[in-house]
Amino acid sequence: MSDNDSFGDDDDFDFDTVYKVAEKVQQLQNTQLQTQLKSQTPKLIQNNNTKQGNTNDKSINNDQIYEIKGENAILRGQIAKLQKEQTELQNKLKLDFDQLLKNKDLNIESLTDTINKLKSENEFLVSENKNLYQSNSKKRKIKSNESYLEYDTSNGNNSNNLISTSTQNTSGILSPKNNDGINEALNIISDDNVKEEVKVILMNQATFFQDEKTLFIEAISNFSIPGMKKPTLNYLENINSTFTYINEDFKIFKNENSFKSAILKYLVNFQEKNRIDYLLLNFINILVEYIMKCDFQNVENTQLLPVPYLLSLINFSLNYKPKAINDVFIGKVTDNVIQLLLNFQELFKPEFDYLSLPGSSQMINFIKLQNDSENNEVFDYLFIEKTMHIKILEVFSATFLMDILTTISKVTSFHMFTFTNSKSSIYFWNMIPQQLFINSFLSIKTPIHFIYSTIVILINSVVDDDKFAFKNAGKSKGNTNDNTVKILEHVMQFLLKLEPSQIQLNVYGLNRMIGSNNHLELLNIISIPSNELSSQPKTNSFDTYNRILNEDDSDFKDFSNQEFYILKTKMLILELFETFYSTLIMISLPLNLNLNLIQILCQLVGEEQEIIYRNFRSVNNNLRIELISKSIKIMHYLITQEEQVTSTGLSNSTLREMIIVMLRILSNNMKNISIEFITNLRKNLKVYDLVFNKPLEFKEHDKFGTLNKILSIDQNKNLTEDEIDELVNNMIQIDIDSYNGIEFNYPDETISLARDIVESSVTVDEADRLHESINYNDQNFNNNDVDIEMMYNN
């Protein structure tokens, strides 16, 4: 057989030899590694051929080799197949394991987020549950199971509708006194939008727990702007929108539904009943975005009518739960308010009262002055073209926006003191332009209402021992000091230059009740509720506007209100400096600023003392004394505790004036004479009436509970002599402590601080001589006949 033959014939093939060889090969495969099998197989075949000799011919050897190679190929194929299957199995297991780890990490992350969310909700709901419990504990209890409370409201030609409540659906039931808004809400969101007579029956002596959403609806339904005759939603009931606005579930269509129906429908349908934070943030954001879409630049603007009322609701919502307002939202609302205020920049630096009527002397003189000047082409006559009701809406919108900015600053301060690592102050001050704040909000022409709001904002910015105003925004130290100096310099000027002419709007605003509130009637008369929906403000005659703007201008009560407003603003400025110096221990102000402040305070104290001496029965003298006392306290700190300031560094005129005002405080002759005079008046002459400063004395005696007895002491025969003596002694003590003219006394602390200032300014011998000269003893002053005669003449 040749080398090219395959296997040859069967007769020539030796099966025994081949079997023996295959058996030996199988044994070797079982004892050797698979990797060694390939290399050792040819050697085994060669050895076998050698031992057996050349008994087999060349063709047999080839056949054996082919057989063995075939078996090896099969084995290698099986091994490769097993290796492939094993690799695939390993890869699959690895992928499954990686996916399992990934799913586990995702599950852990999801559970962590859920735990944090539940923890946050639990902390918030635990806090709110206290208020909920206190609110429900005050609800009126039903005396018996058979008793019921029936509440009817009639609105003209309406059909009767009976709403029976049970323990399963009574979470929103309120008392009749406070539930008008919710009943109206239920009527408003009905399909036919028809007001119906609602009859609410409470039965079964059940305890009804209200959710947070219901409590908020109740509160906002009863909210009214201070001084307005009706709740705010009652005014919005007859005001609709000039454009369609849809935001989430809040929908108001052009010239269709009212703002009240849109607001209450949104609140009633709000899903998160107990998450007041979600409700407040969404509600405020909706109202702000609507106002942002209004056109403030149009001279004939008719979109402003709902704006003051919507702003009042925003301010109410911010005040409702300050804890529910987060830091990021504070920054967003602040930015929106600033953008809106930029539409009213002419109101912050007006040349005259913005509400002056066309043809008034103020407007005519100003126009004439502008026409006579060389720059008359720069003068903008746009405001003259505006109607009176548009200017009224602009003034109230700007005023309420500043009140909202004040509220945001208060919420920011609350967050800084309440929450650790709160960044609310950074978000707030980053949104306020520095030049706008300094040059517009603190201009010498700025109306007093805006000045007051700005001072409150500055006080709320002092939340740490090294933060003030724009420093909270993370500015560099040099720029911060420059801004701080500029702000304080602008603020100081109001202590002397604040004039009654800057009281251009007699309104309380949204956050305080000071001064007069006469001008609030202007907002009321252009938006009196009627039976029809309208987006147009109501126009009135100039006589009507003039009557409100000039009402009681010549009356002493209105003058005293203006004086009270100015004194309160100055008092607020001194509180700002007191807070600044007592808290910001890490900030060192320039020496010139401190010296300038001392000079201004000396002049302020001297002016207030002169006013007291000339008008010793003024109803505002108590505020003047407080103003003097706080001024002395700040001066004492700067002179005796601030190392940079010394009395020798003051100018001669300032030092002279400072000693004079301090000596007026240290003089005790007036104090001794007033005590003798009042004691003689009450005990010997038995005068029990309010004779010095009746408004002030009325408040003081009412505060201590002696007013009713004093007013009826002559008619009351049931009082014993001891009771009358006790009452008279109380009257004397109140009269002595009251700041009511020449009978007033400075507080002991103020006298002590004034003495320290004088001793640090003069030598010991000079101080003794000054004390003796001002505390003389003149027996002629013991005759009180002149004082008594003067008292009765007043």
Domain contains 250: no
Domain contains 502: yes
- Domain check: are 338 and 444 in the same one? yes
CB 409 within 8 A of CB 456: yes
Tell me which long-range contacts 473-479 makes (C-beta under 8 A, separation of at least 24): 473/426, 473/429, 473/430, 474/426
**What per-residue string of b and e applies to 199-230 under the rule 16 or more CB within 10 Å gives b?**
ebebbeeeebebbbbbbbbbebbebebebbee
- Domain check: are 282 and 369 in the same one? yes
Question: 754: domain range?
Answer: 590-793
747: helix, coil or strand? coil
Q: How far is CA 371 from the centre of its chain?
A: 44
Domain contains 280: yes
Number of domains in the chain: 4
- Domain check: are 545 and 597 in the same one? no
- Domain check: are 552 and 414 in the same one? yes
The owner of tokens 């009826």 is 712
Tell me what pLDDT residue 336 has: 95
218-262 pLDDT per residue, tens: 999 999 999 898 999 999 998 999 899 998 889 999 888 899 999
> What mean pLDDT do residues 397-403 have?
95
18: helix, coil or strand? helix
Tell me what pLDDT residue 451 has: 94
- Domain check: are 480 and 622 in the same one? no
672: helix, coil or strand? helix
CB 731 within 8 A of CB 701: yes
Domain contains 391: yes
Domain contains 316: yes
For 469-511, what is the HEC assignment? HHHHHCCCHHHHHHHHHHHHHHHHCHHHHCCHHHCCCCCCCCC
CA–CA dist 296, 651 (Å, integer): 51
Name the pTM for this structure.
0.70
- Domain check: are 107 and 160 in the same one? no
> What mean pLDDT do residues 782-788 have?
48
- Domain check: are 597 and 504 in the same one? no
Tell me what pLDDT residue 776 has: 55
CA–CA dist 74, 68 (Å, integer): 10
Domain contains 238: no
- Percent of the chain at pLDDT > 90 equals 24
- Domain check: are 785 and 682 in the same one? yes
CB 260 within 8 A of CB 188: yes
Domain contains 740: yes
pLDDT confidence bin for 571, thresholds 50/70/90: very high
CA–CA dist 516, 561 (Å, integer): 6
CB 597 within 8 A of CB 638: yes
586-644 pLDDT per residue, tens: 667 788 888 999 999 999 999 998 888 887 777 788 889 899 999 999 999 988 876 66
- Domain check: are 201 and 96 in the same one? no
User: Where a domain ends, among 166, 195, 210?
Assistant: 210
- Domain check: are 690 and 788 in the same one? yes
CA–CA dist 48, 383 (Å, integer): 122
CB 611 within 8 A of CB 624: yes
Domain contains 141: no
- Domain check: are 366 and 505 in the same one? yes
Burial of 504 (0-12, 13-18, 19+ CB in 10 A): buried
Q: Which of 162-166, 187-191, 342-346, 443-447 has the lowest mean pLDDT?
A: 162-166
CA-based nearest residue to 608, from 594, 634, 626? 626
Alpha-helix residue ranges (DSSP H) falling in 518-643: 520-525, 542-549, 556-583, 591-614, 621-640
513-543 pLDDT per residue, tens: 888 888 899 999 998 777 778 888 888 888 8
- Domain check: are 532 and 666 in the same one? no
**What per-residue string of b and e applies to 344-362 under the rule 16 or more CB within 10 Å gives b?**
beebbebeebbbbbeebee
Task: Give residue 680's region: left, alpha or beta (phi > 0; psi -120 to 50).
Answer: alpha
